[in-house]
Amino acid sequence: MSRTLFTSESVTEGHPDKIADQISDSILDHLFVSDPQSRVACETLVTTGLAFVAGEVSTEAYVHIPDIVRGTLSRIGYTNAVYGIDALTCAVLTSIDQQSSDIAMGVDTGGAGDQGMMFGYATNETPELMPAPIQYAHAITRQLAHVRKTGEVPWLRPDGKSQITVEYEDGRPRRIHTVVVSAQHNEDVRHSEIVETLTRKVIEPVLPEELVDDHCIFHINPTGRFVTGGPHGDAGLTGRKIIVDTYGGVGRHGGGAFSGKDPTKVDRSAAYAARWAAKNVVAAGLATRCEIQLAYAIGVAEPVSILVTNLRDAEVSNHELARAVSEVFDLTPAGIIDRLRLRAPIYTATAAYGHFGRAPEIKFPDAGGDEAQFFPWELTDRVDDLRNALGG
C-alpha cells in the first residue's frame, strides 16, 4: 500500500485577502442588478482603517462604492474600531476608469477578454466531488464564522484560518492526519478556553468521525495568541487566495484570480466551465479523478486547446473524453455565460469558502446578500449527454 499526505488551507471571510475579494465581487453584483452587461475588473486593497478600490468598469449602472465597501465590512463583522477597521468610520478611496477600448473590440464580438489557460478538477473522494483536504478545511472556516455570528462563541473575531492534512492510502482518503486552526479572539480569553471551545464547537461538528482517530494531531492557535488580525494585522488584496478559491493545491492552476471580474473574463468563466465539465465526467463514472485545461486567445471565441486528463481509473481514453467534452459543452465565452447564467448577481457568495464544492441551489438574491447560493457550475446535468457522446 502507498501512503501519502496532502495538505490544504482555507481562510474565513474576515481574512484581509478575503475581505478584498468580497468587496470586489459585491461591487460586481451591485452593478449587475441594474446592468447585467457591465464590464468589470475591480481590485480592492484593505489595510488599517482604509479600503482602496481601483479598476476598470464600463456600465450603464450607478453604484455608490463607499456604501458597498461599508456594507461588506459590516456584514463580515468589522463594526468595531478595536479590530483595526470599522465599517462606519474607515476611509474609502476609489480610482475607477473605463475598460480599454482595445479589449472591448475583442469582447464585443463574442471573443475571450484575454489570453490564458484555466483548469477544472473533480474527484470522487467526497460527495461534492472535491479533494478532501480543501473541502474539510472550508468546513472548519465556515463553522468558525457561524459560531461567531450566532454569538455561540462571543469572543471570536472575524479573521481566521484552517489547515487540514489528509493521509491517503493508494490514492484514497484514509484518515485526517493533522488539523490546524488559527482563530482571532478577544484579548481577555484564556488559551485553554480557546482550545477546548474550538475543538468542541468548531472541529468536532464538521469533520467526519470515521476519518478522525486518536492519533490525529491538533494545533489550535499554536502561537498562543491571535488578537491582532484582519486588515490591522496584514494588508489584504483581491486575488491573493487563488488556491483557497479552487482545489487547495490539488491539480494545476492557470494563475488567474476570479473575484471582481465579470464573466467575459475567461479567467473566471472558463475556470467555472472547466469545473462543470470535469465534475460531470466524474459524476458520469467515466473517471474517478479528472482535470480539464482550457486555453483562449484574446478576441477569439473558441478555445485554442482542450485537454482532458484522466488521473485515475479511467473508463475511456483522454482523447475520447476530450472529444465528448467538446461535443457536449459550448466552451465559447458567450456559450458559457448563457448556459451557466453568469450575468446574475451571484458572485459575492463565491468570494469566501471556495468557488467550488458548493450546493448548486438556484436562488437569485439581492446583490451582496447572504442568500446568494447559485453555483450552476456545480450541477451534474450533462452526465447522460457525455455518456451518449461516448456511445452510451
Indicate which residues carry an active-site annotation: 15, 17-18, 43, 56, 161, 226, 234-235, 240-241, 261, 265, 267
Query: What angle is formed at CA 144 by the lines to CA 141 and CA 146, rounded to 5 degrees?
Result: 110
Residue pair 53/90 in contact (Cβ under 8 Å)? The answer is: no
CA gap 264, 375 in Å, rounded:
17
Name residues whose C-beta falls within 8 Å of residue 67's C-beta, 6 or more positions apart in sequence.
none
Work out the burial of residue 294: count CB atoms within 10 Å of its CB; fewer than 13 is exposed, 13-18 middle, 19 or more buried. buried
DSSP labels, 20-48: HHHHHHHHHHHHHHH-TT-EEEEEEEEET
| Cα–Cα nearest to 43, from 98, 117, 94 | 94
CA gap 275, 323 in Å, rounded:
17
Exposure class string for 310-326: b at 16+ Cβ within 10 A, else e: bbeebebeeebbbbbbb
User: What separation in angstroms does the CA of 71 have from each of 39, 82, 139?
Assistant: 22, 18, 25
Indicate the angle between helix axes 318-328 and 266-283, nearest 10 degrees: 120
305, amino acid identity: S
